[in-house]
């Protein structure tokens, strides 16, 4: 697994993101490219922007028990796997705005570094190690960039 805290990895992700255009079509799934970029931004909005309600205690417990290992574990996501409601993007989004926000977020994560994420509270899973944060961020981005052929 690549390390999103490394500048070279962020440079490669940025290069791949810049290969996308508003006309890029997915290899699988229903999202458009602008929706995919907005979808990927949700993870970072949860970390930085506080615009999403935190799940209740019971939901968080269930997420830790049944979802966490799939999200922060090394096994790749299956194609067309289900997503939480908060990650479902409805309607068109502005491509350049979503692309630029995503690039800014991944740069911010890299600049803050692993130390800033060690033990940091996840919106859904409680405290995560920097390794788990890396998997969460990198695996998700890689999955969707691959979905769109870049």
Report pLDDT digits (tens) over 68-118: 999 999 999 989 888 888 999 999 999 999 999 999 999 999 999 999 999
CA angle, 57 as apex, 55 and 62 as ends, to 5°? 85
- Look at the block and give the residue holding tokens 């096994």: 75
Instruction: Give the C-alpha separation, 11 to 125, whole Å.
Output: 28
Return phi, psi of residue 94, to 5°.
-80, 115
Instruction: Give the C-alpha separation, 90 to 47, whole Å.
Output: 21
- Look at the block and give the residue holding tokens 């190690």: 129
What would the mean pLDDT of 55-70 be, rounded to a whole number? 91
pLDDT at residue 11, rounded to an integer: 98
Instruction: Give the C-alpha separation, 99 to 23, whole Å.
Output: 14
Spatial CA neighbour of 37 closest among 145, 109, 149: 145
Q: Strand ranges (DSSP E) for 1-150? A: 120-122, 126-128
Model confidence at 136: pLDDT above 90: yes
Other C-beta atoms lying within 10 Å of the C-beta of residue 108: 14
Model confidence at 42: pLDDT above 90: yes
**Verdict on whether the full-model pTM lies above 0.85:** yes
- 3-class DSSP assignment, residue 79: coil
């Amino acid at each position: 697994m690549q390390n999103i805290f490394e500048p070279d990895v962020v440079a490669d992700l940025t290069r791949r993101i810049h290969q996308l255009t508003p006309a890029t079509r997915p290899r699988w799934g229903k999202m458009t490219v602008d929706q995919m970029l907005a979808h990927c931004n949700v993870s970072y909005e949860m970390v930085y922007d506080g615009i999403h309600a935190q799940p209740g205690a019971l939901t968080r417990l269930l997420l830790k028990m049944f979802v966490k290992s799939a999200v922060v574990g090394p096994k790749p996501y299956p194609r067309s796997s289900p997503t939480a409601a908060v990650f479902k993007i409805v309607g068109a989004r502005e491509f350049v705005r979503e692309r630029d926000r995503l690039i800014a977020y991944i740069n911010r994560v890299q600049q803050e570094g692993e130390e800033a994420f060690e033990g940091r509270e996840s919106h859904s899973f409680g405290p995560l190690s920097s390794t788990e944060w890396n998997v969460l961020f990198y695996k998700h981005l890689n999955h969707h960039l691959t979905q769109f052929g870049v």
